[in-house]
Structures are given as C-alpha cells and as structure tokens.
A and B are shown apart, each in its own frame.
Chain A
C-alpha cells in the first residue's frame, strides 16, 4: 500500500465548477497535511495546510481532514483555467522537523 495515495486522475472540470481532489494516507501517526500545486516543469507551491479534523477555507480553496478515516481532500470552488495543474498531497508525521511524504499527484484540467 502506498503511504500517500491520490485519485489517479486526470480530472477535468468545466470553468466555474467545483473540483474535488482526494488523498488517503496509511500512517495513523501523521499530524500535518498539505496541498501543493505544481505547474509543469515548476516547483511545488504550497496552497493549503491543515492540522486538525474538519474544514479549513482560504478563498476558493477548502481543505478537509478526517483523521479517523485517514483522509484529506481539497475542494476548489469556481474553478478557473489557471487552476489547471497537478495537485500534490503531502503528509508529515510531525509538525516541525519531519519530512513530507508526497502522493503521485492528481492532474486537474479546467476547461473554459
């Protein structure tokens, strides 16, 4: 079983729709969860972090965490063509020094 697993994708949504990206993780001790956006040939760009169960909203982005189900998701409302990218889920054991373990990523295409 992969440590961090994401929807295989690719995911295609029309402009203005809600895009839903999902991630599960295997280590119950994980404490920190991140979503990065990566454009082709570029570095990961942090868009959301979440540490406790529930929802966290930032603009058009909402991260949801359910530690009991070992599940974290990212919702993108009012999707724009500029949101087209690969979204990476990353999980840390601790809050400070620990490494991030990344999923394979889900490629999102937002069609105008």
Chain B
C-alpha cells in the first residue's frame, strides 16, 4: 500500500537558519505530493503541492521538488522565522485513491528560536 516516511522531530533551529525536512514515499500509482502545515492549536493547511515528476511546489518561501527517481519530496526553506514553528506533514494521493484520499507521514515538529 501507499506510505509516507518523514524525518522525526523535533527539529530546533535558530532564526534565519536553513531548514530541510526529508520525505520519501511508496505509492502503487503515480502520486500527487503535498506538504501540509499545522500551527499550534489549528487544523492542517496546505503549504504546497506538486502533481508530476520534476515539478516544484513553492509557497511562503518554502519549496519542494517532486523527485520520482528517488521517490522523495523534501521540504526546504532558506531562512526560517519564529512564525514557521509548526508541525509539517508530507502526504500523497494517487489516482487509485478515490476521492482525494490522502496518506500522511507522521509529521515533523519544527521549533524556531529567536
């Protein structure tokens, strides 16, 4: 079945540091890939997505590139802010997954210190 593996946290960084969160996947079909972010006390929000190989999703300074050859979708940001402190979830869906059913990774908690 489909699965998503992402690095365990917490990841603690200083402001303006470079952030990378690794995500790899296994899928039976040709997946679309997502990063969702969950700020404290809130629901998940879509951060970015990519629907085909070599696509780059980007939003709020975050980027992730769909790498089919390595089945990866690593999230990066060049200079984090305290406001980026959140839990980040990598996820996928495939054409075989009826109704946009998402498979999530376990989440990575990121803490940015001033």
Report whether chain A binds chain B: no
Q: Which residues of A contact B (CB under 8 A)?
A: none
Chain B residues proximal to chain A, CB less than 8 Å: none
